[in-house]
Chains A and B, each alone.
Chain A
Amino acid sequence: MELKVDQDKCLGCGNCVVSCPVNASISPDAAGGHGPKTDDVIMMVENGLVKLFNVDKCAQCGTCPLFCPTDAIYLE
């Protein structure tokens, strides 16, 4: 199983970036909604679309798919 994104579906809302518990532990600003201060996080919104930076850090907890409004981020 792996975390994947479908940029065609992404609205760039950043719900995944904010909800991700691993992002929050790496960059506390992420959970606050200010946007991560480092690209050490799992995913970030770049140019209006979500991008995976460190998929290896994903613990596959299933939190981000719960908050994504368009199923653009998913586990497969």
Chain B
Amino acid sequence: MVANIKEVKTEGCNIKRLGEENRELSYNDEICVGCGICEKICPVEAIELGSIGGIVRTSVDESKIAIDENKCVLCGMCSVGCPVDALDLKIDETSIKEMDEYPSLIKSAEIDDETCIYCKACETACPRDAITIARILPDRTKLVTGEIEIDKDTCIDCGICEEMCPADAITMEHKLPTSDDPTVSSDINVDKEKCVYCLICKKSCPVDAIKAVCRSCSYGEYDLNPEDSEITGSSFIDEETCVDCGWCQEICPVDAATVEKAFEGELIIDQDACEACGTCVDICPCNVLSFPKAEIGEPTPKVNADEKYCIYCGACENACPNEAIEVKRTEIRHTPTKSKSWEKRLESLKT
């Protein structure tokens, strides 16, 4: 019999078997969310889920799951069941998730750049920092135009306009007066790239040395070329860290993000059993759970949950020390498989 080889890496491990076909299971502990689905789906009990609360919240140096290379048969069921793709089985260098013979979970997250207005709400909300929005802002000088002039003969070099200017567009060349040149400034200039013609300098000048007019105020929006205010950009979702939680879809103001989830189910919290330790809040990869703001005199739930963002992975249920959480999975969406045993194992994830 050919023995499996286990290779332990800084962030995870690889299990290999070399033969007529080379099989290699890779596990990435950084991506793993500790849901324990691999432990449930493994047909040979080769995977053991650790105490996720302690592993994530303390400095204990332990991997979230332990794979016994002597029990593992490199079948790949764990890699197909893993909702975050922390496990991947490759046969002769090709992931089974890319092979039609093997089923795979149906899940995706996409941002349509045609619809996206690059507001970055999704980037801020993404619990896994998987989204990057790169945007190119319009040229500010094209959005406001006007005229500004400082009468240097009238100017008394007080520096009030320089101090008041909200756009830092006015610069005075401060200096100490000498008997040869008894002034406190050698020059004063307005940077027209920065000036927004707000007229604060004009209004605050004690000697009326500034003449300024804002064309946008005079002509309103008629003077603006719509092309000049266009915001362009691009969006990127890191598939490796994305867990398809749906935050981007829910928070997007223009419905540019679409998320498809592999599991359907129900998240049930027993508020009486909950002791508000916060383990679930720290564990949840989707920021489903949070502590509610306490209102004086109002009974508040110990922990808040919004199922909109839930992927029904069950990590919170495993981590809760008081058995106060139940995660039900009622639907597992996957591509078809002819294999009865695979179908059965995937169905076994339903609760």
Would you call A60 and B277 a contact (CB within 8 A)?
Answer: no
Nearest CB of A to B270, in Å: 11
Q: Which of B50, B60, B62, B321 makes the CB contact (< 8 A) with A61? A: B321
Is the Cβ of A76 less than 8 Å from the Cβ of B60?
Answer: yes
- With A19-B277, A62-B279, A63-B277 known as contacts, the answer to whether A25 contacts B58 (CB < 8 A) is no
Q: Does B319 contact A (CB under 8 A)?
A: yes
Asked, given contacts A61-B57, A63-B321, A75-B60, whether A31 binds B275 with beta carbons under 8 Å apart, the answer is: yes
A41 interface residue (CB < 8 Å to B)? no
- Which residues of chain A have C-beta atoms less than 8 A from B103's C-beta? none
CB distance from A56 to the nearest CB of B (A): 13
- Closest 8 A/B residue pairs (Cβ): A62-B57, A60-B51, A59-B321, A61-B53, A21-B275, A21-B277, A60-B54, A61-B321
Closest Cβ of chain B to A72, distance in Å, is: 13
Q: Which residues of B contact A58 (CB under 8 A)?
A: 321
Secondary structure of the B side of the interface?
Answer: loop
Which residues of chain A are near B322, meaning CB under 8 Å?
Answer: 21-22, 25, 59
Q: Which of B54, B55, B282 has the most CB of A within 10 A?
A: B54
A1 touches B53 (CB 8 A): no
B43 interfacial by beta-carbon distance below 8 Å: no
A63 and B57 contact, CB distance less than 8 A = yes
**From A66, which residue of chain B is reached at the shortest CB distance?**
B57
Q: Please state if A62 and B275 are interface contacts (CB–CB under 8 Å).
A: no
Q: Which residues of A contact B55 (CB under 8 A)?
A: 1, 62
Given contacts A21-B321, A63-B321, contact A74 B275 (CB under 8 A): no
Beta-carbon contacts under 8 Å, A19-76 to B? 19-22, 24-25, 31, 58-63, 65-66, 74-76
Q: Is the CB of A61 within 8 A of B273?
A: no
Question: How near does chain B come to A6, taking the closest CB pair, in angstroms?
Answer: 14
Q: How many Å lie between the Cα of A46 and that of B60 in the bound state? A: 26
- Our pick among B53, B273, B276, B320 for the contact of A62 (Cβ within 8 Å) is B53
- Kindly identify, within residues 137 to 193 of chain B, every residue whose CB is under 8 Å from any CB belonging to chain A: none
From residue 270 to 294 of chain B, which have CB atoms closer than 8 A to chain A?
273, 275-279, 282
5 contacts between A and B (CB under 8 A): A20-B277, A58-B321, A59-B322, A62-B57, A74-B58
Contacts of A63 in B (CB 8 A): 53, 57, 277-279, 321
Whole-angstrom distance from the CB of B324 to the nearest CB of chain A? 9
* Cβ contact within 8 Å between B321 and A22: yes
User: Contact mask B45-72 → A, CB, 8 Å, 1/0?
Assistant: 0000011011111111010000000000
How far does the alpha carbon of A19 sit from the alpha carbon of B275 in the complex, in Å? 9
Residues of A within 8 A of B279 (CB): 21, 61-63
Shortest distance from the beta carbon of B32 to any chain A beta carbon, whole Å: 16
- Chain B, Cβ-Cβ closest to A31: B275
In the complex formed, the residue of B with least CB distance to A19 is: B277
